[in-house]
């Protein structure tokens, strides 16, 4: 029986193209097209956007994105075995799906996507986190993307949205919240995937802000948070000493007790400290 978009059900696609999941590529596929449609909708209005999809696999989410009206989808997939299945989808949506075989950490996408660009991906955990950090730290802001809608292990999703004082609070939260607005939009149990992973997952949606929430030099903020969270159990006067010999005075000047620990310092306070160190 054909699925709602007229293409074959994903189980048939996987069987027809021999797409047995490979652990080395982090392959946990979503076969429920209602679920992939929900993830596509969580990305926002796609009808006036180009979408960058990373890791389309057999194309469940790709089909969701196209059915939700994405102007164009550029999909980057490392596993060549998936290409025939993706070509079938491209044929069904003429001119709207461009598939690039390659490693998302290496491909050059310049000139392929027109703004606004929404990025959507269900990726292996390590690749997802590395790409997220890259997308959050471009040389210029605003970045090439308007929004990111990404699948993570639930525990990583919590690190992205954590607030000062939360156990999960750290550099990822600072990076994600300084110039973007992240929120968890969907929780998925292991059984949502084939094969099921060991842990629960969550979809995080991030909207790019037009500019930073609080002014700071990105490199200084990065150095400060790397030092502070690199030794998160230490008091800041110890963990930040390498940044400035008179760090206690700088901390006090911006209202942070020198005995405080990184996990209790807000984004606003880290930005104030970064500015202060640049002025010194
Ligand atoms: N999007 C599909 C879905 O939701 O069912 C597949 C998700 S599966 C978790 C991850 C996909 O990312 C796989 O198809 C895998 O081959 C692909 N992948 C893994 N590493 C990649 C990389 N570095 N660049 C591009 N794709 C990658």
Q: What is the 3-state secondary structure (H, E, C) of 205-236?
A: EEEECCCCCCCCCHHHHHHHHHHHHHCCCCEH
Classify strands 72-77 and 97-101 as parallel, antiparallel or unpaired. parallel
Kindly state if the Cβ of 28 falls inside 6 Å of ligand 1: yes
In short, whether 25's Cβ falls inside 6 Å of ligand 1 is yes
Check whether residue 275 and residue 243 sit in a common domain.
Answer: yes
Q: Are residues 61 and 149 in the same domain?
A: yes
In this structure, the number of other CB atoms found within 10 A of the CB of residue 62 comes to: 28
Cα–Cα distance measured from residue 200 to residue 190, given in angstroms and rounded to the nearest whole number:
5
Pairing of strands 117-121, 97-101: unpaired
Question: Can you give the pLDDT at residue 2?
Answer: 67
Answer yes or no: do 115 and 8 share one domain: yes
Q: What is the pLDDT of residue 269?
A: 98
Q: Are residues 181 and 222 in the same domain?
A: no
What's the whole-model pTM score? 0.96
Domain boundary among 174, 208, 242: 208
Q: Show which of 165, 189, 208 is a domain's final residue.
A: 208
Going by alpha carbons, the residue nearest to atom 8 of ligand 1 is 27
Q: Ligand 1, residues 22, 57, 108: which to mutate, most atoms within 8 A of Cβ?
A: 57
How many folded domains does the chain comprise? Answer: 2
DSSP bridge pairs for 75: 53, 99
The verdict on 153 and 244 lying in the same domain is no
Closest ligand 1 atom to the C-alpha of 62?
1
Domain holding 135, by residue range, is 2-208
Within a domain: 204: yes
Is the pLDDT score of 4 beyond 80? no
| pLDDT at residue 12 greater than cutoff 80 | yes
CATH of the domain at 241: 1.10.8.100
Q: Please report the atom of ligand 1 found closest to the CA of residue 31.
A: 5
275, pLDDT greater than 70: yes
Same domain, residue pair 6 and 128:
yes
In this structure, the answer to whether residues 135 and 92 fall within a common structural domain is yes
CA of 242 to the centre of ligand 1 (A): 40
The answer to whether residue 185 sits within a structural domain is yes
Does the C-beta of 124 come closer than 6 Å to ligand 1? yes
Q: Among candidates 62, 38, 86, which has minimal Cα distance to 187?
A: 38
Q: Assess whether 165 and 238 both reside in one domain.
A: no
Query: For a pocket test of ligand 1, which of 9, 55, 60 has the largest count of ligand atoms closer than 8 A to its C-beta?
Result: 55
Question: Which runs of E-coded beta strand occur in 9-165?
Answer: 50-54, 72-77, 97-101, 117-121, 147-153
- Distance from the CA of 25 to the center of ligand 1, in angstroms? 7
Residue 72 confidence class, pLDDT cut points 50, 70, 90: very high
Same domain, 198 and 235: no
Q: What is the CATH number of the domain that holds 7?
A: 3.40.50.150
Does 207 carry a binding-site annotation?
Answer: no
Does 120 reside within a domain? yes
| Per-residue pLDDT, 171 | 94
Domain boundary, last residue among 208, 227, 251? 208
- The answer to whether position 223 is within a domain reads yes
Is 34 marked as a binding-site residue? no
Do 72 and 159 sit in the same domain of this protein?
yes
Residue 1's pLDDT band (boundaries 50, 70, 90)?
low
Say if residue 28 carries a ligand binding annotation.
Answer: yes
Q: Are residues 227 and 194 in the same domain?
A: no
Q: What is the ipTM of this complex?
A: 0.99
217 labeled binding residue: no
Residues contacting 205, CB < 8 A, separation 6+: 42, 43, 44, 147, 148, 149, 182, 183, 185
Same domain membership, residue 129 and residue 99: yes
Q: What is the separation, in whole angstroms, between the first and last Cα of the chain?
A: 69
pLDDT tens for 169-225 read 999 999 999 999 999 999 999 999 999 999 999 999 999 999 999 999 999 999 999
Asked, for residue 213, whether it belongs to a domain, the answer is: no
125 — pLDDT class (breaks 50, 70, 90): confident
**Is 104 a pocket residue for ligand 1 (Cβ < 6 Å)?**
yes
């Amino acid at each position: 029986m054909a699925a709602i978009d007229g293409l074959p059900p994903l189980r048939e696609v996987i069987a027809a193209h021999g797409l047995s999941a490979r652990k080395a590529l982090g392959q946990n596929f979503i076969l429920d097209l209602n679920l992939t449609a929900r993830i596509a909708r969580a990305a926002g209005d796609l009808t006036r956007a180009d979408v960058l999809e990373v890791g389309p696999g057999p194309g469940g989410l790709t089909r969701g994105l196209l059915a939700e009206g994405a102007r164009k989808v550029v999909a980057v997939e490392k596993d060549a075995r998936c290409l025939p299945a993706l070509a079938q989808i491209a044929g069904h949506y003429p001119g709207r799906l461009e598939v690039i075989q390659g490693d998302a950490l290496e491909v050059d996408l310049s000139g392929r996507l027109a703004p606004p660009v929404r990025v959507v991906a269900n990726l292996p955990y390590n690749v997802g986190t590395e790409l997220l950090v890259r997308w959050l730290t471009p040389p210029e802001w605003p970045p090439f993307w308007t929004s990111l809608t990404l699948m993570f292990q639930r525990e990583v999703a919590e690190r992205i949205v954590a607030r000062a004082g939360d156990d999960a609070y750290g550099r990822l939260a600072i990076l994600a919240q300084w110039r973007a607005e992240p929120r968890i939009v969907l929780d998925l149990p292991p059984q949502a995937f084939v094969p099921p992973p060991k842990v629960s997952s969550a979809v995080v949606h991030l909207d790019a802000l037009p500019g930073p929430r609080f002014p700071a030099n990105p490199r200084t903020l990065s150095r400060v948070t790397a030092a502070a969270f690199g030794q998160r159990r230490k008091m800041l006067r110890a963990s930040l000493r390498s940044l400035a010999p008179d760090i206690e005075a700088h901390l006090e000047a911006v209202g942070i007790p020198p005995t405080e620990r990184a996990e209790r310092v807000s984004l606003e306070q880290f930005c104030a400290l970064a500015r202060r160190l640049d002025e010194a």
